[in-house]
């Protein structure tokens, strides 16, 4: 995410540029109350020899709960604090991780009862030796429950470890989608394209729809339906970039778009951006006297 100050840095990066064993319980009486968000962790293989942790936080209380994006387990610096990796050798040797040293700004998300927030952490870039370690030893990822460094709770009975066995081929999960249904849904939402390796949709959307909250909310519900049926490998954290002209659809860093931006064209046709994770629609983000943001959750 980059550039203009009235959009969050991390959202712009996604939409414009490209989106341990049990510890001591000492001092637990001084611990701040935990949020009633149940944390579940799954091992995923989104691509060949790519490993990721998929994390779900679900509101299990009867009341709405608010959480700051700074506290989410996949965002730095939390992402490197709550789990450890070990080789499955005789010494259970710890595996070194790369640590990110930046932090997001503050933004609060409201989750109603039963609503979840999800995202993934790709392990390969944070554990450079991962594939070699898997080939020779196998790797285990372990975490505390509840995680000492996080504010969340763990459902009872769930394991606090995921294992990648020695010699694992790293074959990605296979999903089945109905191409006819997906083509129809894609046409309904004005889908232009989905960039490779990004959970982002570029849509053709008229300005008349962007200025009408009821219409744009209905469109986002349709986008959510499309994602659930046609992008089964995604979590419920995805993004949308809205364009009034198809030929300009893409990231600002894409070939030609920098030129159009300098000419003042690209920012006129990129009329909106939406993040399902922070439940926020940014309308006319590049036009200072029209820019605003609207909180919209697609949870139903």
Which whole number is the average pLDDT over 168-182? 94
Q: Place 165 in a pLDDT band, splitting at 50, 70 and 90.
A: very high
DSSP 177-234: --HHHHHHHHHHHTEEE--TTS-EEEEE--HHHHT-HHHHHHHHHHHHHHHHHH-TTS
Q: What is the token pair recorded at 3?
A: 């550039």
CA distances from 124 to 21, 139, 152, 200, 247 (A): 22, 12, 25, 21, 34
Q: Place 19 in a pLDDT band, splitting at 50, 70 and 90.
A: very low
- Whole-number Å distance between alpha carbons of 11 and 242: 14
Q: Which helix (H) or strand (E) holds 259?
A: helix 257-262
Q: Place 81 in a pLDDT band, splitting at 50, 70 and 90.
A: confident
Q: What percent of the chain has pLDDT over 70?
A: 89
All structural domains of the chain: 9-19+34-164 (2.60.40.2970), 179-295 (no CATH)
8 A C-beta contact, residue 40 and residue 158: yes
- Whole-number Å distance between alpha carbons of 184 and 187: 5
CA 293 to chain centre: 19
pLDDT at 14 over 60: no
Residue 87 bridge partners (DSSP): 139
Q: Which of 144-148, 177-181, 226-230 has the lowest mean pLDDT?
A: 144-148
Q: Place 157 in a pLDDT band, splitting at 50, 70 and 90.
A: confident
More confident residue, 116 or 256: 116
Count the residues in the chain: 300
Which whole number is the average pLDDT over 250-258? 88
Q: What percent of the chain has pLDDT over 90?
A: 73
Residue 193 bridge partners (DSSP): 202
8 A C-beta contact, residue 250 and residue 202: yes
pLDDT tens, residue by residue, 187-214: 999 999 999 989 999 999 999 999 999 9
Alpha-helical regions (H) of the chain? 9-12, 130-136, 179-189, 207-210, 213-230, 257-262, 266-269
Mean pLDDT, all residues of the chain: 88
- Whole-number Å distance between alpha carbons of 92 and 7: 44
Which whole number is the average pLDDT over 68-76? 93
Which pLDDT score, from 0 to 100, does residue 80 have? 83
More confident residue, 197 or 66: 66
pLDDT at 286 over 70: yes
- Whole-number Å distance between alpha carbons of 265 and 65: 41
CA 119 to chain centre: 4
pLDDT tens, residue by residue, 28-51: 445 568 999 999 999 999 999 999
Which whole number is the average pLDDT over 119-135? 96
Longest dimension (CA), the chain: 64
């Amino acid at each position: 995410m980059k550039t203009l100050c009235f959009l969050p840095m991390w959202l712009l990066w996604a939409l414009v540029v490209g989106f341990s064993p049990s510890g001591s319980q000492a001092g637990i009486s001084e611990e701040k109350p935990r949020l009633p968000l149940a944390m579940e962790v799954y091992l995923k293989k989104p691509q060949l020899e790519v490993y990721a942790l998929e994390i779900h936080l679900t509101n299990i209380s009867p009341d709405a709960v608010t959480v700051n994006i700074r506290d989410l387990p996949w965002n730095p610096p939390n992402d490197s604090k709550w789990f450890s990796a070990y080789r499955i050798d005789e010494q259970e040797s710890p595996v070194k991780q790369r640590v990110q040293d930046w932090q997001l700004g503050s933004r609060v998300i409201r989750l109603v009862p039963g609503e979840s927030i999800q995202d993934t952490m790709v392990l390969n870039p944070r554990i450079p030796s991962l594939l070699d370690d898997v080939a020779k030893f196998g790797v285990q990822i372990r975490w505390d429950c509840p995680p000492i460094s996080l504010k969340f709770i763990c459902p009872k009975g769930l394991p606090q470890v995921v294992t990648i066995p020695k010699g694992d081929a790293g074959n990605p999960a296979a999903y089945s989608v109905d191409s006819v249904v997906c083509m129809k849904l894609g046409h309904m939402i004005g889908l232009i394209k989905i960039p490779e390796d990004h959970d982002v949709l570029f849509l053709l959307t008229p300005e008349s729809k962007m200025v009408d909250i009821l219409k744009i909310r209905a469109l986002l519900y349709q986008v959510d339906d499309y994602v659930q049926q046609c992008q089964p490998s995604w979590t419920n954290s995805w993004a949308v970039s809205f364009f009034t002209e198809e030929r300009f659809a893409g990231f600002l860093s894409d070939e030609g778009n920098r030129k159009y931006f300098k000419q003042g064209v690209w920012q006129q046709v990129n009329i909106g951006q939406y993040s399902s994770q922070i439940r926020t629609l940014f309308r006319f983000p590049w036009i200072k006297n029209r820019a605003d943001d609207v909180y919209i959750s697609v949870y139903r």
